[in-house]
Amino acid sequence: MRRWIAALLLVLPLSALAGQTCSHEPPTVAEIERGMALAQATAIRLDASGARVVLLARAGQDLSEYGLRWSHFGFVYKTREGSWRVLHKLNECGSANSALYRQGLGEFFMDKPWRYEAAFVVPKPELQEALLPLLSAQRGANLGAKLDGNDRVDLLNEPRYSMVAYAWGTRYQQSNQWALETLAMAASPEVRSRQTAQDWLRAHGYRPGVLHLSALKRLGAETTRANVSFSDHPSGERFAGRIATVTADSVFSWMPRAGLSSSVELVP
């Protein structure tokens, strides 16, 4: 464990650029130890699952007031060498921009999570087979590296970011939304755009999470944070304070129900 921590400290200046907050406060040794312990426990569970691709969620923020347990999820795939890699979309330092990143499990849990817990679902075998070559393309394969935009996995990525992007819109895109739309692209050869991905998701019974936000809370968030915009939501729903967006909880509830994955497993 100590050797893992020493190695991680060498890459933290780079990986911090891939994080969501770009905090200038480095993690404490205790935080590193807890993050690495969770990464190790997760790797053991993923090895035991026999999967090559899973969807992995973390509790990066306290979203309990919205009835949500998980804040963010991404794809995790097993390399030919037997290690696990995370491919996910991250907001760049609280800005209105985002990008795709490839990381190790340790980095995935280094962003000062609210709870040191994780959850994953294992896609059905044929969906794993479709996802694996999509996720494991070698461009930008170094840990902590931003993808260069030339991979097929980048096809449905919209860099314009809003944390509360409308689930059925294409003006913005948040992290969970990219992952879900990319999953749809892997599942169906007919999906070649964000709109057709959303059509596929609707047809297969996906329903986004709905956040209930007052006008005051919406105004405060939109005027003080570059990575929040409600302008893509239908006026009627927005003024009623019903914000439909892609949540990790809604995806993890839908996938087993739709027969696309195993039931949710928790770590530790």
How far is it, in rounded angstroms, from Cα 165 to Cα 33?
34
Number of domains composing the chain: 1
pLDDT at 8: 41
Residues 6 or more apart whose CB falls under 8 angstroms from that of 244 comprise 166, 167, 168, 208, 209, 210, 233, 237
Please give the model's pTM, rounded to 2 decimal places: 0.89
For 115-153, the pLDDT digits (tens) are 999 999 999 999 999 999 999 875 545 666 677 665 789
Average pLDDT over the chain reads 89
Residue at token pair 């994780």: 118
pLDDT at 7: 41
| Per-residue DSSP letter, 181 | H
The CATH number linked to 49 is: 3.90.1720.10
- Residue 30 is which amino acid? A
Containing structural domain, residue 228:
2-267
How far is it, in rounded angstroms, from Cα 263 to Cα 257?
9
Which parts of the chain have pLDDT scores under 70?
A: 1-24, 138-145, 148-150
Buried b (16+ CB within 10 A) or exposed e, 174-213: bbbbbbbbbbbbbbbeebeebebbbbbbeebebebbbbeb
Beta bridge partners of 68: none
How far is it, in rounded angstroms, from Cα 263 to Cα 251?
12
pLDDT at 52: 98
